[in-house]
Amino acid sequence: MPVVMPVEIETITSLRGGAIAAIRSADLDRKTALAQESATRWFARTLSLRSPLDPALADRPGRPEKPELVPPRHMEKRSLHTVKGRIALLHAIAHIELNAVDLALDIVARFATEPVPNSFFDGWMQVAFEEAKHFRMVRTRLRDLGADYGDLPAHDGLWQAAHATRNDLTARLAVVPLILEARGLDVTPALQAKMRETGDMESAAVLDVIYNDEKGHVAVGAKWFRFLCARERRDPARTFQDLVRANFRGSLKAPFNDIARAEAGLTPSFYRSLTSTSNA
């Protein structure tokens, strides 16, 4: 595993401050270290939620010069039966996990003044901690294969989707954990199987960790989405559908991992009517 540099205590002014500092960092080792240190201190209850000393929340997360960001349609698809193909897949996953770190931190920082219990922030900092772990694991595997994060282009769709919901916590929960993260539950099992078919057991093991943790991340999203809907006396499935239609481009794509989704609290009544092939 890569060496994680210690984080200066004075950088973390509060939970919100630590989250913002991590989001703003373009040094990815530092970003993940700040995310995990902020989470650890929050869980130990040695941090306040907010402080007047907190830095300003950035519109975009800090990033190194590479990778080059291109439209999703320009991303090249490669066979997993080649080392280059597996590197391309792992690079794409690393990019997703890096965005997931910033997205979890952004929910905490952006909505730190929302009237929600502290357990809301517990859940999202656990997500941020695990997403940072995932990014490091995938990056280590890339390096094992003679590559690194930044070697290939990536796309910016994940952050753009989150930015569209920056003013509405319920909409953010609908789009990020309940669409974007839930999609990982649909596609990862097939990728795990393909990695094993090629004999790349190390990469498959990394995907195993990600898949098992992501179930919990979707569950955190579903829990708090249902909490907000109950507080506002709104029907969760109908509210989800309305928010997705207003804030997410395109239809949802089958097939769905209905069992894993349901285990996380995301039942078919939420998403089936939003698909282009709702009877798939």
Q: Tens digits of per-residue pLDDT, 73-123?
A: 666 777 888 999 999 999 999 999 999 999 999 999 999 999 999 999 999
pLDDT higher than threshold 90 for residue 253: no
Residue 3 lies in a domain: no
pLDDT higher than threshold 90 for residue 144: yes
User: The domain containing residue 176 runs over which residues?
Assistant: 15-48+72-270
C-alpha triplet 84, 85, 90: angle, nearest 5°: 95
The band of 34, judged by pLDDT with boundaries at 50, 70 and 90, is very high
Residue 279 lies in a domain: no
Which pLDDT value is given to residue 10?
A: 56
Q: By percentage, how much of the chain surpasses pLDDT 90?
A: 80
Which pLDDT value is given to residue 77?
A: 76
pLDDT higher than threshold 50 for residue 279: no
Residue 53 lies in a domain: no
Total domains, the chain: 1
Residue 135 lies in a domain: yes
Which pLDDT value is given to residue 254?
A: 86
Q: By percentage, how much of the chain surpasses pLDDT 70?
A: 94
The band of 244, judged by pLDDT with boundaries at 50, 70 and 90, is very high
Residue 7 lies in a domain: no
Which pLDDT value is given to residue 156?
A: 78
